[in-house]
Chains A and B, each alone.
Chain A
């Protein structure tokens, strides 16, 4: 199977053509440096993203939060819904852990701002 990706490492934004079989990268073309190959490899085999969003505290003020580690890309919506459902009471401190092991991803959810 052939997949087309845009490399995000620099403004060149090389269009990468990736040959994939059974989830494994057979070849990468279109890249102009080594970083493109490495990016294609990680994007195909295990793409991850850090989620940043807000949780509305019990007092009504939003608290900005993030996943402390990147989570699998295909779990973005599931994880965001789980973060939204967290109960948070003010005050919170930046870095405060609001959830451990979000949906079995191994990532914590932490506050990114001191609120209240």
Chain B
């Protein structure tokens, strides 16, 4: 059986950043497993720009960002096995993999980093009534078809959901000659960035229909059109508000779900709020020596944050291997999301095993104006940061200094307070 110190599942931005950080810390025996034929993950199809402002201080496209990391992986001679699917990870870190070259194989790791990313919520999870004709795609599938395969899936398009991928695809389909009739959003606000609403919709005169949804899909073999209706405050369609849009393509941009089948079968505890593993300050899951980072842990909006987080996971894994693969020495304190905070990553901190400052990443539950982020240990305030506006679509990242945390013995709370 082949043996590795560190096996990284996934060669997207998370896996690559974790590998680079682990090698930079001096770890030799690393393997990256990637099911696609090349490194880069989802970045390969994200040909728009806006990536890398934090990491590289310049505005890059997705493939450019990916290639910068792939070049580092190559320069560091970190082994990568592409076209390789991971079938199973056991608690003792035996990893079962499948590839055309080697068939089914079991390899042994001392530590594993989960970096499988996320996938789109499919039609089946949305409860849209109507027929099931050809012409209904998730936005990311259409993005892959257009940008990587060179096929434009249709000429007249309606997009359901106004997340950033939906907005980006509205512009992309328009530039490819399609007519985007509308972007339909169930909520009274868009979950996409303002910049994308202006530059992907307003620039091209594409209407954004807030508090609307698709209530019927017409067409038996091929999509013929969709019926859109307004919804009330309980998201129930309002009778009489229906409007029919002829179209040959319906794109769904209705949220992303961390891809944790492997983590679950391995026995990793999952946080129901993020659908990702519960982790500590070193991004270690409930199973010793199994770490998680990037979109498999919680869905990010900026790849720069994925790279930063994943580098931390790589360093923690090296520390775990050097420690002799033993569990953390002390009990952990909890990090508890309170008023206005939906979740936190990490959910617990081993204050005696800190390896530097700790990032607390989280999302808020709604829009908060003129407020403060308050982090406390018992009654002691560790951090208070005023904000003019906080929105659920932007992940927040607060750093707590190592020296401040080291003395903490009580659980930590993260809350939003009105100012």
Interface residue ranges, A against B (CB under 8 Å): 5-8, 10-13, 32, 49-54, 56, 60-62, 64, 66, 73, 76-77, 80, 94, 112-114
Does B150 lie within 8 Å of A64, measured CB to CB?
no
Taking Cβ atoms with an 8 Å cutoff, the residues of B that contact A are 44, 47-49, 59-61, 63-64, 67, 146-150, 172, 175-176, 193-195, 197-199, 202-203, 388-391, 393-394
Report chain B residues within 8 Å CB of A66: 47, 49, 61
- Other A-B pairs, 20, CB within 8 Å; known A56-B150, A64-B63, A76-B203: A6-B198, A8-B194, A8-B195, A12-B389, A13-B197, A49-B203, A50-B49, A51-B175, A53-B175, A54-B146, A62-B149, A76-B175, A80-B175, A94-B63, A94-B67, A112-B47, A112-B63, A113-B47, A113-B63, A113-B64
Question: Which chain B residues border A62 with CB–CB below 8 Å?
Answer: 147-150
CB pair B198–A11 under 8 Å, yes or no, is no
For B168, the closest partner residue in chain A by CB is A52
10 closest Cβ pairs, A-B complex: A113-B63, A64-B47, A8-B195, A13-B194, A62-B150, A112-B61, A11-B391, A8-B194, A52-B48, A112-B64
Residues of the A chain whose Cβ atoms lie less than 8 Å from the Cβ of B195: 8
Which one of B67, B148, B193 lies within 8 Å of A114 (CB-CB)? B67
Contact B389 A6 (CB under 8 A): no
Chain B residue numbers with a CB within 8 Å of A53 are: 47, 172, 175-176
Q: Which of B44, B48, B388, B391 contacts A113 (CB 8 A)?
A: B44
Q: Residue on B with the closest CB to A55? A: B150
How distant is B262 from chain A, measured CB to nearest CB, in Å? 28
The answer, among A49, A64, A114, for a CB contact under 8 Å with B199, is A49
Distance in angstroms from A12 CB to nearest chain B CB is 5
List the B side residues contacting A76 at CB < 8 Å: 175, 203
A64 partner residues in chain B, CB cutoff 8 A: 47, 61, 63, 147
CB distance from A90 to the nearest CB of B (A): 13
> How long is the Cα–Cα vector from A80 to B176 in the complex, in angstroms?
9
In the complex formed, the residue of B with least CB distance to A53 is B175
Q: How far is B177's CA from A80's CA once the two chains are assembled, in angstroms?
A: 10
Report the minimum CB–CB distance from B108 to chain A (whole Å): 34
Contacts of A13 in B (CB 8 A): 194, 197
Residue of A nearest to B61 (CB): A112
Q: Please give the distance in Å from B396's CB to the nearest CB on chain A.
A: 11
The answer on a CB contact under 8 Å between B150 and A54 is: yes
CA distance A73 to B202 in the complex (A): 12
Q: What are 24 A-B pairs at a CB distance below 8 A?
A: A6-B194, A6-B198, A8-B198, A8-B199, A10-B389, A11-B389, A13-B197, A49-B203, A50-B49, A50-B59, A52-B48, A52-B61, A53-B47, A54-B47, A60-B150, A64-B47, A66-B49, A66-B61, A76-B175, A94-B63, A94-B64, A112-B61, A112-B63, A114-B67
Partner of B388, one of A12, A52, A54: A12
Residue contact B175 to A11, C-beta cutoff 8 Å: no
Query: Which A residues are in CB contact (< 8 Å) with B202?
Result: 6
- Residue pair A113, B67 in contact (C-beta under 8 Å): yes
Tell me the nearest residue of chain A to B67, going by C-beta. Answer: A94
- Please, which residues of chain B bring their CB within 8 A of the CB of A52? 47-49, 61
Q: Which A residues are in CB contact (< 8 Å) with B150?
A: 54, 56, 60-62
Q: Could you say which residues of chain B place their CB within 8 Å of the CB of A12?
A: 388-389
